[in-house]
Structures are given as C-alpha cells and as structure tokens.
Amino acid sequence: MKHLWAPWRIQYILGPKPDTCVFCLSDDTDRDAERLVLYRGRRAFVIMNRYPYNNGHIMVCPYRHLSSLTDLEQDEAHETMDLVQRCSGILYEHFHCEGINVGLNLGKAAGAGIREHLHFHLVPRWNGDSSFIAVMDDVRTMPQYLEETYTALKGYF
C-alpha cells in the first residue's frame, strides 16, 4: 500500500462546507488573504485554487454568478479576458514556467467541478513536471505552501 501524506487536507475533510458558491465574493476585502483572492477588478477577480493542479494554479472569475460564456456582458467578457492575459504574464514572470494551461470547463459533461459559476483556470507548466508520481499514481507534488505562493503573487497585483 502506498501513502501520500497531506495533513493540510483534514481541514477540508472535517471542516464545514460552504452553503454558498465559493466564487461569490462579498465586499469584505478583509478576508481576501484567507480566501486567496489576489486581485479585485470592476467586473472580475483573480483567486488562487485552494486545491491546485500545479504550483501557482490561479483562476479568473466574473463577479456575477453565471454558468455560460454567452451570459457574459461585453464589459465582463473583456475584463475577464484582460485578467487572463495579465495573469499569464505574471505566471511567466514569477515562476519562469515553460507553458501555461488555460482552461474553462462549461457544464458537468465538460468536467466542471463548480458548474454554477464560470471561472478560467491558469496552470503553470514546466517540461517534465509530470513526474513518475503523476504518471503512475495520478498524484502531483506541490513544492510550495499556498500561503507562500499567495504572498509572492499578491505583489504583482
């Protein structure tokens, strides 16, 4: 039997589950560090993924609670894509990554984990970052704590 120790996940397992959408933000900016919110724009914001696929995995979300690209108003669509572009540059600059996966899963059939609130994923990638652990056991190793990554990325915004 193989074991991968991840003691920080016990908070999620035993902790209370949110009754509301994890992407719907209040105006309370005092909780931004706790919620891993990196940036708040007028119509969209940037947040870190609490359960990342890779170090530096961030997401861009419109404030409005909607699940379809066709429901975005033009100003929301522009600001959201502007933030995707800006975040891409930040990830290249900070992590010196060799590529970035940018993804959007619309609907359950497309693999959306949170279908109710549209969000773009940006995942930094490096050649060879899918080591034998990921290939053989579908496991990724994270080289840095979320809080440290948050502090480093927050300075770019």
15 or 131, greater pLDDT: 15
38 within 8 A of 157, measured Cβ to Cβ: yes
What's the predicted TM-score (pTM) here?
Answer: 0.80
Q: Report the chain's C-alpha Rg in angstroms.
A: 16
* Burial environment of residue 56 by CB neighbours within 10 A (0 to 12, 13 to 18, 19 or more): buried
* Enzyme catalytic residues: 119
Tell me the per-residue pLDDT of 88-112, one tens digit each, with 9 for 90 and over.
999 999 999 999 999 998 888 887 7
Whole-number Cα distances in Å, 135 to 59, 127, 130, 131: 25, 14, 6, 6
pLDDT at residue 4, as a whole number = 60
**Domains of the chain (ranges, CATH numbers):** 33-154 (3.30.428.10)
User: In angstroms, rounded to a whole number, what is the distance separating the alpha carbons of residues 128 and 36?
Assistant: 28
